[in-house]
Copies of this chain bind each other. A is one copy, B any other.
């Protein structure tokens, strides 16, 4: 039960030739910014505007998840999560980190016969490849949408609703669990009418901050993960993420560094490296959290000012062979976050007796984890030497407790960075226009004016194209 530590040695200017790093003095002078952000966040919490910070205290929600899982486990061995963005990425992140992946995620412990599929896109091919793998009689569908109206998830739901309906004359409802805002939206309305069970997403928890709500807890419990440990990790992080000091609060230190590198050092790109295949979906989850929370028009200046960093999810050592060349010699527009796993329960050792060629004999008696650790250290060294700033989180190991801690910690980092940038890290105003135009193109009567706009734009433009 160790805390996650944070090392920012190589985000700070060490030598005169480090042209691209901030000085320790700049960091110290900026501390009031992050303390102010912590106070703003606390005020939002006290107003009830945000709730992600306290999901580990949501006792009725947690109990309802456990009860619902128990009821499903009497008859279902397969769970299909239907969700997109914040409704699926947290689930993907938890299962990839803590379960085995075989096209589906395989449950653990007494739930090791349980399978979890995640349908996180609208794509006919995804449905076609999922269908033959399901025994509908043993499958429960968890449809997750904060608004209860997300187009892609509703479309996927309607396809499967029809399929279940065609096969089941009775007990249709038990095959569906909705996770949505209580009291509004079409999923809630349908549940009310039909008796489908609803798990509640608290009103003040946005999709990308919802992993520790019933959104992520239901599938975790269904897979046999210890959700109490996951929430204990979050509780642990929430003990230190409110501390008003960059010496004791890694969320505050990290947020302040990211803020300074974006505003003062023009780092428009945030490379987020995890050194384990198990954390690939965590990197994707963080990418959404970072991009959608910070990519905004800030109203703070007279002219429009666009802020936010592009997240580049990177897995080590794998992507040393794909993206690293760009990172070390390309434009110096990046800040790197390294995520290190200190201890892994699994390892393999290369034998003593290997064919006698140099690239083989160099590795004899080495363990896989030892090689990986050395590769990560080598990459950090090269970043440091080339004056490319980076920070590092050290995760003691990948288990429920430490993952819960990491998830909440990264949510705090993101929220605090957004507040310093004077954006609302909890909204997504740019998403609406695309939704409305899609409805317009689907001939929704409410958006005929949007359709007219569409035709106006396309007819007034000169077309340029190449067909060989």
- Asked if A17 is an interface residue, CB under 8 A from chain B, the answer is no
Instruction: Find chain B residues with CB under 8 A from A268 CB.
Output: 268-269, 331, 333
| Contacting residues of chain A (329-361) with chain B, CB-CB under 8 angstroms | 329-334, 344, 346-348, 350-351, 354-355, 357-360
Given contacts A291-B326, A371-B442, contact A465 B158 (CB under 8 A): no
Contact pattern, A 96-137, Cβ under 8 Å of B = 1, otherwise 0: 000011111000000000000000111111111100010000
Interface residues of A in 4-31 (CB under 8 A from B): 4-12, 14, 24
Report the separation of the CA atoms of residues A362 and B440 in the bound assembly, to the nearest whole angstrom: 11
Which residues of chain B come closer than 8 Å to A85, judged between CB atoms? 318, 320-322
CB distance from A367 to the nearest CB of B (A): 8
* Pair A122/B438 contact, Cβ less than 8 Å: no
Q: Which single residue of chain B is at the shortest CB-CB distance from A322?
A: B288
A384 nearest CB across to chain B (Å): 6
Tell me the residues in window 345-400 of chain A with beta carbons closer than 8 Å to chain B beta carbons: 346-348, 350-351, 354-355, 357-360, 362-364, 366-372, 374-375, 377-379, 381-382, 384-385
Confirm or deny: A47 has a beta carbon within 8 angstroms of a beta carbon on chain B.
no
Residues of chain B with a CB closer than 8 A to A81's CB: none
Specify which chain B residues have a CB less than 8 angstroms from the CB of A193 in the assembled complex.
355
How far apart are A239's CB and chain B's nearest CB, in angstroms? Answer: 8
A289 to chain B, nearest CB (A): 9
Copies per assembly: 2
Interface centre among A121, A128, A193 (most CB of B within 10 A): A121
A228 at the interface (CB under 8 A from B): no
Query: Could you say which residues of chain B place their CB within 8 Å of the CB of A190?
Result: 355, 357, 360
One of B186, B347, B384 near A359 (C-beta < 8 A)? B186
Contact of A468 with B by CB under 8 A: yes
Does A278 lie within 8 Å of B374, measured CB to CB? no
- A161 contacts across to B, CB distance below 8 A: 354
Kindly state the interface size class of chain A when it binds its partner. Answer: 35 or more
**A233 in the interface, Cβ–Cβ < 8 Å?**
no
Report chain B residues within 8 Å CB of A194: 355
Q: How far is the CA of A430 from the CA of B207 in the complex (A)?
A: 39
| A220 CA to B454 CA, complexed, in Å | 42
Taking a contact as CB atoms under 8 Å apart, the answer to whether B308 and A329 are in contact is: yes
Whether B430 contacts A357 by the Cβ 8 Å rule is no
Q: Whole-angstrom distance between the alpha carbons of A371 and B123 in the complex?
A: 10
B434 touches A324 (CB 8 A): yes
Selecting from A36-44, A69-77, A197-205, A246-254, the interface stretch reads A246-254
Give Cα A306 to B7, complex, Å: 27
B residues less than 8 Å from A381 (CB atoms): 437, 454, 457
